Amino acid sequence: MKRILITGCLIVACASVSSAQTLQDYSGSYLCKLAASAGLRLNAQSQTWNGVTFDVTNSSVLMKITNTNKTGSSQIYPEFGKYSVAFKDFGSTGKAQDCVSNYASAKFTSEVPIIEGRLECNFFATTYRVNLQTNRIQITFDGGYMDDWKENQDTPYIAVGVCDKVS
């Protein structure tokens, strides 16, 4: 009986080590070139919102993913890696915006899970969704329309593009 119990414990321990070793590390810097964007824009004169297509010909975003060497789990996913994720406009000299997530947590945290190559995180009214297996990015900005400013410059939008790992 003792031998069976020890063997069972060793199998569980080996399985835990094996699953921890199979987590892919997504750390690195990525250049995400936007391909299309559309949204809403306020016509200040008529005070009406109109659909608009934005020119993103020269628009790119830098994404920096840093491994925190922490893992998490949920009811659906037994284990996933947690990362620090930050975005900034390509060419911007400002600080990158750190993303937060509340996946499998009661509060927002800067530890963003990457599950099966996918991440989703937020900064202010912006949501970033990235699939690192297909190299696709989707950015949505929800601000603007709900504000009651009469000359609102915020424009709710959605943008999509492709990311390439650069380091």
CA distance 118 to 125: 20
Is 7 a domain residue? Answer: no
Dump pLDDT digits (tens) for 58-83: 999 999 999 999 999 998 999 999 99
Amino acid in position 39: G
Residue 152 binned pLDDT confidence (cut-offs 50, 70, 90): low
Is 2 a domain residue? Answer: no
Is 6 a domain residue? Answer: no
Residue 161 binned pLDDT confidence (cut-offs 50, 70, 90): very high
Is 5 a domain residue? Answer: no
Task: Please give the pLDDT value at position 49.
Answer: 85
Per the prediction, the chain carries an average pLDDT of: 86
Task: Please give the pLDDT value at position 22.
Answer: 79
Task: Please give the pLDDT value at position 143.
Answer: 81
Cβ–Cβ under 8 Å, residues 53 and 40: no
Is 149 a domain residue? Answer: yes
Residue at token pair 């600080």: 95
Is 129 a domain residue? Answer: yes
Please compute the mean of the pLDDT values over residues 128-151 and round it to a whole number: 86
Is 21 a domain residue? Answer: no
Q: What are phi and psi of 10, to 5 degrees?
A: -65, -40
CA distance 18 to 79: 12
Domain, as residue range, for 147 = 28-165
Name 159's bridge partners.
37, 139
Is 92 a domain residue? Answer: yes
Instruction: Check whether 3 has a pLDDT greater than 90.
Output: no
Instruction: Check whether 150 has a pLDDT greater than 80.
Output: no
Please compute the mean of the pLDDT values over residues 4-9 and round it to a whole number: 48
- Tally of domains in the chain: 1
Please compute the mean of the pLDDT values over residues 39-49 and round it to a whole number: 85
